[in-house]
Structure 1
């Protein structure tokens, strides 16, 4: 789960699902009728195997643009191959590869109504090496006035998909330099956004900006389980497999293993893929996605979202940080953005009598709905939510080198993965379709 960038089937129904630890099992019973889960489906031994590989030191913290993240991608792809998932038609095997643009600023000049603007008051978010515009270039001129949420407004302009000149009120001058965070890494774009500190909207302007542009490739890992009668309706199970790489040593340890954040989520995705493949009764097509670059801006999920027509995505179960007990103890988790669709209520209905409980997000002030990969699809109207157990007000190992396998509860994690499977059953079967996100209400 990233920090704020600026502060950013008739299946499973009667489930007497048991979790296996070695040769012993512990079980609870889910209400409803239908086929029960095999005790082997969510074995603690298998959860442990996958989690240990993904959070091992030799993955080097799975930092983007490192050998470690490539090794992690290869492992996830091999698991999808073992399970027998289909490969996306436009991907390289299971790897959904895309480029990120990395602009390096060189210089900028601007004149607004014959007034020369200092270079420090000009920030161009662009993938064009030599950008030159004036009032005849077709740029929409907009403002960010005094007051309001500066970074939220700036993000909306950057993501609008339009060429814009944004005049920023000088009251935001203290935060203005932080807009450069937008251009550390960028998706390829044919549009540009130019921010200038100023008090009035100009009738004439001349602006130029020069950057050195480089490209680097990253890959999501995606597998598909085709549906039976509703092949063109999609349900997504996802998590992110990148983390923070190698950083400042803590007690001699410099590897940020990211065992909970988010090797735990990817372990769940792999386990769920294996389970649903064996069941083989999904009416809707299920897509299993391991996203890259969540920690550096959600670029993996942004690219992934461009590969689907949003109206065909019925639900997204994004899984993040489920390796520790929630604030309510074992067999419980929370759902971000619970109030934005009725998906949480559907999940609760399916969990009735199971011994599991999913709650609304108890940390609304932290805006977790916007801080994980669900946010990208939610902004397109998809009922996309993140499931987590992390105590975000007191998680001691969050974004530290101590986020290691030994800090996690494997048995509880296996139970949470099972609960996610149970909670999704009527959505996968097509019996339930969650309401859409009202995008006009999103910040």
Structure 2
């Protein structure tokens, strides 16, 4: 999977630079390929244009990753194979958006974003390129809608939703805040550790509403995700992003496209919100995956999505409230087996499995009666490997989950009547 996929609806309109952003290249004059230090103490590199052309083999089809709303994206290997990146080549009429993306990402950096590495400005403006982090596992759109992928389970869906919300929180908490204006599943990319990252800042605005009025930046976004109340430049706010996020959340819950002409109504909002208001949460769930055991998971997520897509922007929740709600939901959803690939199917851990592990570890590790427990998950995992638990029919993911659950002294583990859900980092 590549950096970007353009299977969703294309973005419409463009955005002009806001007064906080204009003139990045004019202000930042540096020698080619020499890192530039930004206000947040990060280095942004200026790559020679010829180096990026060579690294993409002249932007050949072999390096092509996908096509977005503002141009094409290619994989490139730089620094003698030490750096793998994605190079975004804007279309001729997308230079303003390209410069805007550089402006935004030069000021914002976070693990939940697809971050800027550098850029290249050729002799002519049309040669301007953007270099960002390479995301090897495609987009959330691909995971939810492609027939070549097994649909992610509820634990993964909640986790992706929370990670995107945290990305939006980073943007909205800035001073001044950043309004993304194009939140959608095809702009949520999946990194090498299967974490969700928010990408594509070509339409983003940095500044207060007063700045937007001054610039008369036209409304922009993607059909199906675009806030219906956003009709004039003065209408845009962080609550516009919340509407788009609400559509994304409905998409995650239901597995349906934001707009799908195969259904009536075609809009996911017009279809889902009446069902949610009527309390029929099961009807909104993606039928391709089993529902979570805790029904409150679906109920909470559906109610949150409905509140985000309210027609009155003032009644929509803020992103901080959304993050708090999804953090609570994530604690309730039963964790799926730990693994880097959500498409892998792993059998759940049961009490019998735990007893087998306990006995096996007792034989191999507990021969020293002075030791009553294993001190860390790492030691448990090592012990499991030592006694060959893979011979029991478990794969690496199964073993990793058991190792996490076996973090208590083994004597207690053998006597326990229930197993708790392990706490797994969400970052």
TMscore range, shorter length? under 0.3
Q: If each structure's helix is expressed as a fraction of its own residues, which one has the higher value?
A: 2
Structure of higher CA gyration radius: 2
- Larger RCO: Structure 1 or Structure 2 (Cα < 8 Å, ≥ 6 residues apart)? 1
Q: If each structure's strand is expressed as a fraction of its own residues, which one has the higher value?
A: 1
